[in-house]
Amino acid sequence: MNEWYKEDLAFIHDAGFSDWALKSVPGILEILNRSQIQEGLIVELGCGSGLSAQEFTKADYKVLGIDISEAMVEIARTRVPDAEFRIESLFKADIPPCNAVISLSECLNYLFDPDNNSQTLIQLFYRIYNALIPGGVFIFDIAEPGQVISQTPIKNFTETDDWIVLVEKQEDRDSEILTRRIITFRKVGEHYRRDDEVHRQQLYKAADVTAKLRRVGFEVQTTQSYGQFHLPKAHTAFIAYKPA
């Protein structure tokens, strides 16, 4: 078992932080429809617990989900038995020929994957471009610098009857790295079980990502929302088409 999105954080993310995945789907289905992609294979990178994969499956797409977290994929496999899921780094995984590639909720930013760096990011864009059919689309979002404005760390928490999650966030201006220290308490029987994770994210400027995508050959649009779902501050979504 790797050290990120372990059992308790995977459970809490699935139970308490489903909005991004679920509320983005209607807007993404509209984009696919507009792009004449009404069927075929969607490859979902950083598919998490399969929340959006389930919606894509309901809309009659085939789904291949790829995620580095065993615990997330375990939930996804139970939730969406009709989809295929692989536990792998998205920076290394084989991407089969497909109609769309989708990656929701800042999956490309995470540095806990040692295979994530500026070189593998551009290689990923090439791999996706080569896997997509002509007219296929790559839809994803990233976190940008400006997540934490203050010099001091920001702390917040979310609680329910079954779990509590505490998060401390700090952004290094020079390296443009965000560090999130995450402490979870999950009720197990009469007691709460504690777990700790530290997630570092490389933050990317939208203009730099757009330039990289264009260099690969994509036609790129950017947006701050998927349909009615507005991304949190300092995030941008990309709709990158492989020309038909």
Q: Which residues bind ligand SAM (CB under 6 A)?
A: 5, 20-21, 46-48, 51, 66-69, 72, 89-91, 104-105, 107, 110, 113, 116
User: Which value, in Å, is the radius of gyration of the alpha carbons in the chain?
Assistant: 18
Q: Which residue is nearest to ligand SAM (CB)?
A: 48
What's the closest the beta carbon of residue 244 comes to ligand SAM, in angstroms?
27
What's the closest the beta carbon of residue 10 comes to ligand SAM, in angstroms?
7
If one counts every other C-beta atom within 10 angstroms of the C-beta of residue 190, the result is: 5
- Relative to beta strand 41-45, strand 62-67 is parallel
Give the tokens for residue 215: 């260099």
* Residue 52 CB-half CA count within 13 A: 30
What's the closest the beta carbon of residue 236 comes to ligand SAM, in angstroms?
16
For 209, residues 6+ apart whose C-beta sits below 8 A from its C-beta are 142, 236, 238
- In the complex with ligand SAM, the residue whose CB is nearer, 66 or 209, is 66
DSSP letter for 243, please. Answer: P
What's the closest the beta carbon of residue 168 comes to ligand SAM, in angstroms?
17
- In the complex with ligand SAM, the residue whose CB is nearer, 173 or 233, is 233
- In the complex with ligand SAM, the residue whose CB is nearer, 198 or 244, is 198
